[in-house]
Amino acid sequence: MAGQGIPRLLLSRLARSGEPISQLFGSPAVADNPYAVLESVRARGQLIRTPIAYFTVDHEICRNMLRDKDMGVRATDNFSTRFTVLRWLKDRAPLAPNPTEAPSMLVVNPPEHDRLRRSVSAAFTPRAIARLRDRVETVTVELLDALPENGTADLISDFAAQVPIAIISEMLGFPYDTRDEFLSWGDAITPLLDIGNPWPTYRRALIAIESMDRFADGHIARLRAEPGEDILSTLVAEGEMDDQELKATATLLMGAGFETTVNLIGNAIVQLLAHPDQLARLREEPDLWPNAVEEVLRIDSPVQSTARVAHAEVEYAGMRLAPEATVILSLAGANRDPKVFDEPDRFDITRANAKEHLSFSSGIHACLGASLARMEAVHALRALFERFPDLKLAGEPTRRPLFTLHGYSHMPVALGHRHAERSATMHS
């Protein structure tokens, strides 16, 4: 808890001085709409120094740092381990394997990262993703059929979360009845991607990690006895990962496999309902759906930030960064950089360079499942708005009080009448 408590105290102290990082991580209101704070950072320069870390919202710097071999990753609370006592505590009370701690490939550097990523990359090739399209269509139709005509629904729990959780569960060989547990575990663990969590949030995450670890132990044992055709069965059979690496990889893929996509789908629904002219254009020109998804990724990124640490002395924007210097990269800020995107605050599904966003990161840590997330979102969104053309919000959507992951926890809607025909397939 020291790795969260000390940053929390520091953030609280800095909040009184108006430091942008303390506002972004410490205020639910700012987490809901961080863009004004990010623009205040942009006004201070391409790269600024704060008492916690360097910070940038600059597209060019973010992109270059993500690709720089002299910049690496570390766990989100690792800046705290500069203190000897905290390092001692961390070494003696490690968390069970989870997406936020090594050996998760999210927070390890080459050559460990390359070995772990190479082991699972075959499951996310374009050919592999194409094979999943029919299953995504089937799951989407089943979910839409279950929604009540002229009724109400929570489009996060009833739809946006269910599409990706179904697909990634099957890819990992997880039983159908574990989906709700994984949604609950993911909701509890994802705050660890932020810093300075309060004790109740941190304790809930620890309980979820322990539960997930016990499940993973049992699941891996079952796959050794009765392997299937899923990713984990292949990894177990290959024997190139130890149990800690298997569990960290499984939980990372599970979390990344639905967290990004549920936020992407939810953010897209709100953006499209707020811009009926854009939604009308999509009804007339459905071939624009892939670019519409890219524009949602740009203007309301499901992953708002990441961090890099200098492994050698580097220079950016005329500033020399010493080894071990930490930089928080605002992907959301980079995605609204006016040097790259004209009128960056305008939602435009026809934006020619929308795909230049950094929402899926870049370089060796670029999101492994980006193509899957895009495919799921394009089909789910098109199918939803075709089946329920009169869909509208039935209350204010509730944002998750997080900074790193940006999405909704609840989205009440009035569905309206159901279109008689099922959505067109996405085989084009």
Give the pLDDT mean for 401-427. Answer: 80
The pLDDT assigned to 340 comes to 98
Q: Does the model's pTM come out above 0.85?
A: yes
* Residue 15 confidence class, pLDDT cut points 50, 70, 90: low
Alpha-carbon distance of 335 to 337, in angstroms, equals 6
187-225 pLDDT, tens digit per residue, is 898 888 887 777 788 889 889 999 999 999 999 999 999
Which two three-digit tokens encode residue 13? Answer: 């102290």
* Residue 309 confidence class, pLDDT cut points 50, 70, 90: very high
Q: Residues of the chain with pLDDT > 90: what percent?
A: 68
The pLDDT assigned to 21 comes to 72
Q: Which residues of 29-65 are buried (b: 16+ CB within 10 A; e: fewer)?
A: ebbeebbebbeebbeeebbbeeebbbbbbbbebbbeb
28-70 pLDDT, tens digit per residue, is 677 778 999 999 999 999 999 988 889 999 999 999 999 999 9
Burial class for 106, CB neighbours closer than 10 Å (0-12, 13-18, 19+): buried
160-180 pLDDT, tens digit per residue, is 999 999 999 999 999 888 888
The pLDDT assigned to 428 comes to 39
Other beta carbons less than 10 A from residue 228's beta carbon: 14
**Among the ranges 68-77, 90-99, 329-338, which has the highest mean pLDDT value?**
329-338
Alpha-carbon distance of 387 to 290, in angstroms, equals 18
**Among the ranges 5-14, 262-271, 416-425, which has the highest mean pLDDT value?**
262-271
- Domain boundaries of the chain, sorted by first residue: 2-414
Reply yes or no on whether the pLDDT at 87 is more than 50: no
Handedness of CA 89, 90, 94, 99 (dihedral sign): positive
- Cβ–Cβ under 8 Å, residues 358 and 382: no
Reply yes or no on whether the pLDDT at 425 is more than 90: no
Q: What is the mean pLDDT of the chain?
A: 88
| Sequence-ordered list of residues with C-beta below 8 angstroms from that of 356, at least 6 positions apart, any chain | 59, 298, 340, 341
Reply yes or no on whether the pLDDT at 93 is more than 80: no
CATH 3.40.190.290 corresponds to the domain 2-414: no
